[in-house]
């Protein structure tokens, strides 16, 4: 199956700093990538949809100035958490889809990035 890689897997930062998380599709061109966050024992919450070469579409309640998303190429999308605060500590997961739908339509997820803001 398709492979999506996410980096870093864990990051600890001080409050007020910015953190960048990368999501790469390794063996296919990802026209669309999705960014989720997940708090412990809670569901995956979609934050934004990122299309290559265009601005990301954010879900209601997600601050676009705080969570900067860039999808500059067909294999890379980045999420930057700006001026991070402890309440931003969470598990961030990306997923990707290619030009053609798979026969079953599943999403391919990255390994996730656990952000801890001190």
Partner 1 sequence: GQNIDQPTEMTATEGAIVQINCTYQTSGFNGLFWYQQHAGEAPTFLSYNVLDGLEEKGRFSSFLSRSKGYSYLLLKELQMKDSASYLCAVKRRSDSWGKFQFGAGTQVVVTP
Whether a cis peptide bond, with omega within 30° of 0, leads into 46 is no
Does 42 help bind partner 1 (rule: CB under 8 A)? yes
Does 116 help bind partner 1 (rule: CB under 8 A)? no
Closest distance of CB 83 from partner 1, Å: 26
Does 63 help bind partner 1 (rule: CB under 8 A)? no
Do the beta carbons of residue 35 and residue 94 sit within 8 Å? yes
Does 97 help bind partner 1 (rule: CB under 8 A)? yes
- What tokens appear for 7 in the block? 């980096």
Closest distance of CB 16 from partner 1, Å: 26
Residues in CB range of 27: below 8 A, 6 or more apart: 2, 3
Do the beta carbons of residue 112 and residue 6 sit within 8 Å? yes
Under the rule (CB under 8 A), what is the footprint of partner 1?
A: 1, 6, 32, 34, 36, 41-46, 49, 91, 93, 95-97, 101, 104-112, 114
């Amino acid at each position: 199956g398709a492979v999506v890689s996410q980096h870093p897997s864990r990051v600890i930062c001080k409050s007020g700093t910015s953190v960048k998380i990368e999501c790469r599709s390794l063996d296919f061109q990802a026209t669309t990538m999705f960014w989720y966050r997940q708090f412990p024992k809670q569901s995956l919450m979609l934050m934004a949809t990122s299309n290559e070469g265009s601005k990301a579409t954010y879900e209601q309640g997600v601050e676009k100035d705080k969570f900067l998303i860039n999808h500059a190429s067909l294999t890379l999308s980045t999420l930057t958490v700006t001026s991070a605060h402890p309440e931003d500590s969470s598990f961030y997961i990306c997923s990707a889809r290619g030009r053609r739908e798979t026969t079953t339509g599943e999403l391919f997820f990255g390994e996730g990035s656990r952000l801890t803001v001190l």
